[in-house]
Structure 1
Amino acid sequence: MYGLIGRMLAAPGKREELLAILLNGNTPMPGCRSYVIARDPASEDGIWITEVWDSKEQHAASLDIPAVRETISKARPLIAGFAERFETEPLGGTGV
């Protein structure tokens, strides 16, 4: 499996708007076992995204799904940047 944990930064004052886009744009993605979007309680602009995939290749392929591309297009103007990014190798657990 392939895991990705990242902290995204919304443009100042735009976190809730960005969260709404990310949550409403959530679509089934082949190979995706878990996709969690969360507020960062330590940062007014921070968002954590935690993903678990069957493979790194399926994660990369998800970027070609039309609904995913549309969500990225809508979200991009509200993203100030990416603060942290960690790749992991999930072994199992609940919902995985």
Structure 2
Amino acid sequence: MEKFAMYGKLIAHPGKRDELAEILLEAAAMLRDNEDCELYIVNVSDSDPNAVWVTELWSSQDAHASSLQGADTSGRALIAGAEPLRLKPLGGKGF
């Protein structure tokens, strides 16, 4: 079976890292019942006070894309809430 993984770094505005991480942890909680999402890990680094890393493993690239397109109202609200906290777009690569 082919899998799809992403590992990305988000850079938050200074002082907003923890707020951004909390939103991403809420997203992780929402994905718990999604059988296609096999792993969603959020972590921060002591050496980079503005960075949040996200690691995702999906059953397929299509499943990942569908999760973004099919996000319910609360999922879209989480995504919208995270946008103003970021300086840069997600710097990740799917493989």
State TM-score, norm by structure 1. Answer: 0.81
Indicate the structure with greater helix content. 2
Which of 82, 90, 93 matches 1:75? 82
1:25-79 per-position Cα deviation (integer Å, ceiling 9, x unaligned): 3312341000000002331100110000000001011112113222101111101
When the two structures are superposed, what TM-score results if normalisation uses the length of structure 2? 0.82
Alignment of 1:87 onto 2:87: no
> Aligned partner of 2:39: which letter?
S
Identity, in percent, stands at 31
Q: Which amino acid aligns with 1:40?
A: S
TM-align CA RMSD: 1.5
Report 1:47-86 matches (<5 A).
47-63=52-68, 64-66=70-72, 67-82=74-89, 84-86=91-93
The aligned length equals 88
Which of structure 1's runs of 4+ aligned residues deviate more than 6 A?
none
Question: Which of 10, 15, 22 is 1:8 aligned to?
Answer: 10
5+ residue gaps, structure 1: 89-96
- List runs of 5+ in structure 2 lacking aligned partners: none
